[in-house]
């Protein structure tokens, strides 16, 4: 039996089978089977589809097929898990941030590897200059205050004791953007971070912090927000709270670097 509700929802959004497949990262033939054969997707694909089509999941599939509990919804928000940050595909960072149209956030102590990537820096320029369909993208870079106790402690925890130096190097790398593009928000925080967070709209990479392990060796969760799920929002709210408590980076901070 075909799923006419899914077919109608696609038409209502002006999307094709290929559009939806690309959006939720599945094969177009898989989407065709959902429509023409009434095949029921995995739970996370149900909610990803509903999110892409801006409808409630029960509009597309029967209540008995839907995930009702918040716990299951949160599990469905997990796209994948990488055992180490260095195993995250090198292009994923730029691809994910390249898709950002509303929010592009970086919450780290130093995030030195990103600040050393010329393509990432160029992407930041383009986001504030051109943005997406909704206009310029809000870009916020949150680095640790190199003088604060939390930064010193994180350096000790990672076993190198030079986190403050890594932050100063990142500030040197970001200085041209700070001077040429005031639309980019740079703030310094004194928070104790338990994760480094990299957000692009409704996607986020969560780089966990593990005692005695450098960030590039720690696990990374790739999350995608789904309506009703709470996992993504927990981390997104952490960014907002840290941003609100951080101070504006000044010219002296960049020159002092």
**Contact 229/70 with Cβ under 8 angstroms?**
yes
| 101, 161: one domain | yes
* Last residue within a domain, chosen from 68, 85, 108: 68
CATH of the domain at 22: 1.10.260.40
Instruction: Give the end of a domain, one of 68, 103, 124.
Output: 68
CA pair distance 139, 187, nearest whole angstrom: 11
Domain of residue 53 covers 4-68
Residue 192 and residue 93 share a domain = yes
Q: Are 189 and 242 in contact (CB under 8 A)?
A: yes
- What does the pLDDT average to over 241-255? 95
Q: Which residue has the higher pLDDT, 94 or 198?
A: 198
Tell me, yes or no, whether 124 and 205 share the same domain: yes
Local confidence band at 220 (pLDDT 50, 70, 90 cut-offs): very high
Mean pLDDT of 77-92: 92
Same domain, 20 and 105: no
pLDDT digits (tens, 9 = 90+) for 133-181: 667 899 999 999 999 999 999 999 988 889 999 999 999 999 999 999 9
The pLDDT of residue 98 = 92
Q: Is pLDDT of 131 > 70?
A: no
Report percent pLDDT > 90 for the chain: 68
- Position 257 confidence tier, pLDDT thresholds 50, 70, 90: low
Across the chain, mean pLDDT equals: 90
More reliable by pLDDT, 255 or 184? 184
Q: Provide the pLDDT for residue 64.
A: 53
Among 50-64, 138-152, 219-233, 240-254, which is the least confidently predicted range?
50-64
Query: How confident is residue 219, by pLDDT bands cut at 50, 70 and 90?
Result: very high
Please tell me the predicted confidence (pLDDT) of residue 208: 97
Same domain assignment for residues 59 and 113: no
Domain end point (choices 21, 46, 68)? 68
Least confident range of 103-107, 127-131, 186-190, 197-201: 127-131
Q: Could you give the number of structural domains in the chain?
A: 2
pLDDT digit string (tens) for 62-77?
755 454 555 666 677 8
pLDDT of residue 136: 82
Q: Residues 109, 183: one domain?
A: yes
Answer yes or no: is pLDDT of 16 > 70.
yes
For 19-23, 40-44, 161-165, 210-214, which range has the lowest pLDDT when averaged over its residues?
40-44
Q: Specify the CATH number for the domain of residue 248.
A: 3.30.870.10
Q: Is residue 42 domain-shared with residue 113, that is, in the same domain?
A: no
| pLDDT classification of 82: cutoffs 50, 70, 90 | very high
Please name every residue paired with 81 in a beta bridge, in sequence order, or none if there are none.
221
**29 and 100, same domain (yes or no):** no
Q: Is the domain of 63 the same as that of 183? A: no
> Residue 124 has what pLDDT?
95
User: Do 120 and 27 fall within a single domain?
Assistant: no
180-213 as b/e: b if 16+ CB within 10 A: eeebbbbbbbebebebbbbbbbbbbbbbebeeee
Residues 109 and 219 in one domain: yes
pLDDT grade, residue 38 (50/70/90)? confident
Q: Are residues 24 and 88 in the same domain?
A: no
């Amino acid at each position: 039996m075909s799923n006419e509700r899914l077919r109608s929802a696609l038409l209502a959004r002006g999307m094709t089978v290929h559009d939806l497949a690309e959006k939720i990262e599945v094969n177009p033939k898989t989407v065709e089977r959902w429509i023409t054969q009434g095949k029921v997707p995995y739970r996370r694909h149900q909610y990803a589809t509903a999110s892409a089509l801006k409808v409630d999941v029960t509009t597309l599939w029967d209540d008995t097929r839907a995930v009702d509990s918040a716990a299951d919804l949160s599990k469905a928000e997990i796209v994948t898990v990488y055992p180490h940050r260095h195993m995250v595909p090198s292009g994923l960072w730029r691809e994910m941030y390249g898709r950002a149209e509303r929010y592009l956030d970086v919450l780290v102590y130093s995030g030195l590897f990103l600040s050393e990537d010329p393509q990432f820096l160029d992407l930041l320029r383009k986001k504030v200059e051109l943005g997406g369909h909704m206009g310029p993208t809000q870009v916020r870079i949150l680095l640790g205050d190199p003088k604060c106790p939390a930064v010193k402690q994180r350096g000790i925890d990672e076993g190198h004791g030079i986190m403050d130096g890594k932050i100063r190097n990142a500030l040197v790398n970001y200085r041209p953007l700070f001077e040429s593009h005031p639309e980019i928000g740079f703030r310094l925080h004194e928070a104790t971070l338990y994760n480094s967070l990299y957000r692009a709209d409704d996607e986020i990479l969560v780089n966990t912090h593990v005692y005695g392990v450098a960030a590039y060796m720690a696990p990374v969760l790739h999350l995608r927000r789904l309506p009703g799920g709470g996992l993504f929002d927990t981390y997104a709210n952490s960014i907002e709270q840290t941003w609100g408590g951080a101070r504006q980076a000044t010219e002296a901070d960049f020159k002092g670097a």
